[in-house]
Amino acid sequence: MSEKTAKAKEAVSEAAEELSATLGEEVREELRAGAEDLSERAQEGLQELESLIKAHPLQSTLIAFGLGFMLSRLLSR
């Protein structure tokens, strides 16, 4: 391999590593932002569910019982 080819290969390799590191950081930041958004949405959903359960405790209990009963019937087969 000639010296020019070796230098070019090294330069391309370094550029690829640098690009990979930059893109990796951008991807990590996007994932972090997405996870934070998902966490906020889940928290809001749980708060809404909790308020519905507090507003309708009897219906919530009966629904939970019915779902539990149906699930137990499905799993016992």
pLDDT tens-digit map of 35-77? 999 999 999 999 999 999 999 999 999 999 999 999 999 998 7
Site of tokens 């909790």: 50
pTM score, two decimals?
A: 0.55
CA dist 23 and 31 (Å) reads 12
Per residue in 56-67, pLDDT (tens digit) is 999 999 999 999
